[in-house]
Amino acid sequence: MMGGSRANEIPELVRQLGSRSPARVDGARARLSIIGERAVEGLIEGLEGDNNRIRANAMPLLAVIQDTRAREPLTAMLLDRNARLRAIAARSLARFPCQNSVRALNRLLERETHEEVKVAAVQSLIEHYQAGREEALRPLLHVLVDPGEPAQVRLATLALLRALPPSQRRGILTRLHEDPQEEIREKAQEISSSLKHPAEPTSAEIARLIQDLGSDDYSAWNEAVQRLGGYGAKIVLPLVTEMQARAHDPEYCTRAGMALKSLGPRRARPLADTLDQVQEALPLQVLIEVIGAVGEKSMIYRLKDVIDRVAEMPVRDNPGRDVDPFQRARAKAHLELARIGSRVAIRDLRNALTDDGQRVELELLAAVELVGKREELGVLLQAYDREDEFVKRRITTVVREIMKRERIRRSARLFQNLSENQRRALERILVRASSPGRRRPPAARATV
């Protein structure tokens, strides 16, 4: 079970997000990003307080963690009185692409009067469109071709053009060449020229864009994401190298993952060859998520090597069962294999669930929910007693899902050989699952 000091750690880290010391804030951000989904409730509570520093730092962290429980609180922040916080909320929603987010951002665009917030809204909608939300296109095109919109907002919307099909892009550029706003005409001409005569990227140009990924300026780093994604496999090695150099910066690694994911299955293949070279946990986690998002099965099967490598790492003294970022990478690799229906690493999955020295990662539970069979019920029941309430709820969901899928009754013979602790855990799970008014907890997230 989680001790008192562990229970108090997350609220204290959230309070440190309000510090005037950049070093303390950076340390809290790094730690909370490692804790991941378990920190989400504490971060959401931080949004409900009145400390704007905490709120401003909590929202990007929720975006990095990408747990769907954060989507509604972030949407609510679009109504905040503080324009800066509304802008941060809009950008943070970019990591939660869905129809509801698009609608909320569209409403924000319609009522907003601050240019900074409108720029953030269109930038977020562009990311939604790039993530496959076609409904984000209409409000963006409305802003792009409306001379009544502020020039800065329209200039930000021009980033959409590189994501459009060439035929649609040409028509819009032709119209913008005659736009009444001079800034728009000049930028449209610049984009047209770069698309007609694309320059072969030099090593220096790639290096500059890789550095731009760390910019505080959204336009700069988003432009870097788009351009790097268009340069193909040649970005893989230098970008992974830079990710390792910035291994304690979750936002940079997330942006790098966005660029790598845009390469697609064929151009991203060199990623699999970098897995053995990556010695830092956070970049390894991001690469695993990218490989899963790309969806090339031959690359996903290479994640079995990552699982074996992490499993062979020396066991570290972990009396408080602290979050181990390498075990998190191991769990993410299990989840990506499970998503393609593979049980190739099922033995290690069982070992990870029964390791008393490690916390049960939520991705492990998501993996066993997808591919688990009756043979895995015992290890889930064994893990139940040593976990906190949040994880117990997830184990309850997984046990019930496997029982349903495998058509296992409560009176099944396999339950007759359980230990006393396992039997007690099963009784609690069955009582919990049948209690009215209990909601299914959200599934663990594993995407960039």
The rounded distance, in Å, linking the Cα atoms of 168 and 150 is 23
pLDDT at 77: 97
The rounded distance, in Å, linking the Cα atoms of 397 and 434 is 11
pLDDT at 80: 96
Does residue 5 have a pLDDT over 80? Answer: no
Q: Which of 418, 426, 357 is nearest to 392 (CA)?
A: 426
The rounded distance, in Å, linking the Cα atoms of 358 and 361 is 9
320 in the same domain as 266: no
**Contact (CB, 8 A) for 160 and 144:** yes
- 71-93: average pLDDT: 96
Q: What integer best gives the mean pLDDT of the chain?
A: 88
**Position 210 in a domain:** yes
Give pTM, 2 decimals: 0.78
Poorest-pLDDT segment among 5-14, 214-223, 431-440: 431-440
419 in the same domain as 319: yes
Percentage of the residues of the chain whose pLDDT score is greater than 70: 92
pLDDT at 445: 42
374 in the same domain as 282: no
**Position 395 in a domain:** yes
The rounded distance, in Å, linking the Cα atoms of 154 and 118 is 10
- 271-283: average pLDDT: 92
The rounded distance, in Å, linking the Cα atoms of 61 and 249 is 11
Does residue 347 have a pLDDT over 70? Answer: yes
pLDDT at 220: 87
320 in the same domain as 268: no
The rounded distance, in Å, linking the Cα atoms of 90 and 59 is 10
**Contact (CB, 8 A) for 374 and 426:** no
Poorest-pLDDT segment among 309-318, 337-346, 407-416: 309-318
355 in the same domain as 296: no
**Position 255 in a domain:** yes
319 in the same domain as 290: no
319 in the same domain as 265: no
Does residue 19 have a pLDDT over 90? Answer: yes
Does residue 446 have a pLDDT over 80? Answer: no
pLDDT at 439: 47
319 in the same domain as 431: yes
pLDDT at 435: 58
The rounded distance, in Å, linking the Cα atoms of 199 and 23 is 40
Residue 30 burial (10 A CB sphere; 0-12, 13-18, 19+): middle
CB-based contacts of 396, cutoff 8 Å, min separation 6: 429, 432, 433
Domain count, the chain: 2
Backbone phi, psi, residue 278, to 5°: -80, 120
423 in the same domain as 320: yes
pLDDT at 250: 87
Does residue 40 have a pLDDT over 90? Answer: yes
**Position 106 in a domain:** no
What DSSP designation does 51 have? -
Within its chain, how far is the Cα of 56 from the centroid?
A: 18
Question: What residues make up the domain containing 220?
Answer: 199-301
Per-residue pLDDT tens digits for 399-427: 999 999 999 988 888 888 888 888 898 99
pLDDT at 2: 42
296 in the same domain as 408: no
List Cα–Cα distances, 411 to 176, 248, 380, 398, 403, in angstroms. 70, 49, 18, 18, 11
**Position 30 in a domain:** no
Q: State the sign of the Cα–Cα–Cα–Cα dihedral 295, 69, 285, 322.
A: negative
**Position 25 in a domain:** no
**Position 224 in a domain:** yes
CB-based contacts of 108, cutoff 8 Å, min separation 6: 78, 86, 90, 117, 118, 121
Per-residue pLDDT tens digits for 152-207: 999 999 988 888 888 888 899 999 999 999 999 999 998 888 777 666 788 999 99
320 in the same domain as 282: no
pLDDT at 416: 83
The rounded distance, in Å, linking the Cα atoms of 63 and 294 is 20
pLDDT at 432: 66
Per-residue pLDDT tens digits for 241-254: 999 999 988 889 99
The rounded distance, in Å, linking the Cα atoms of 94 and 97 is 6
Count, residues in the chain: 448
**Position 277 in a domain:** yes
320 in the same domain as 292: no
